[in-house]
Structure 1
């Protein structure tokens, strides 16, 4: 028999709270240097999300190395670089060497659209070429 939506939502809230607790503990242990405990916290939190078929929270997703299950703290055990040629942010895990590339095409597209709007508004208020020639002759 199916679970009700309310029961499912309550379960999701509980799992979200537990994931937050485990990930906060993983962050603290990473700063202390207990890598075994960190990997255990990360695997437990990922298993919790998989158990109820819930996507892992976005705020924590970028802080986990999918290869070695370590908690990434940028500057401590991970490096972050922007690559304008590929339009992506590159995150490298310093423990296993895994590289994750995150594209930022939406931001570039928005910037391009804003630039185009400014250019069209400032360049020519009257787009009709016949009216422009009449106005320029007078």
Structure 2
């Protein structure tokens, strides 16, 4: 019974976080930044109180340093870099914080191709 109740509460928490972040996005588009910060703060508090992970969809839209909702193009800059390793760089224009998100899917594809090539080489050696 306790687990059922816990699941239900977590589901409600996720719904409320989603609602608050949607409201924050709408207010950010209008330019009401004080209200946006408050919505983000409340959403993060709900997640911490319920001990649940913040949804990835919204997590990348919040600056970890200043707590601002990042509206790409308005108060955040997004760039794709390929030096060293392919990654996306998100810069908060309010506080200057930089976030790097690696492009893992592409990296995994390259690894898979290399493995397939090695297997083909081994198979060709075995056949000879």
| TM-score bin, normalised by smaller chain | 0.7 to 0.9
Equivalent in the alignment of 1:111: 110
Distance 2:27 2:36 in 1: 6
Structure label with greater radius of gyration = 1
5+ residue gaps, structure 2: none
Distance 1:24 1:112 in 2: 37
Displacement of 1:73 after TM fit?
1.7
| TM-score, length basis structure 1 | 0.81
Distance 1:35 1:18 in 2: 20
* Cα deviation digits, residues 28-75 of structure 1 (max 9, x gap): 011110110000000000000000111111111000011111111212
| TM-score, length basis structure 2 | 0.87
Equivalent in the alignment of 1:36: 34
Distance 1:36 1:17 in 2: 22
5+ residue gaps, structure 1: 133-138
Equivalent in the alignment of 1:83: 81
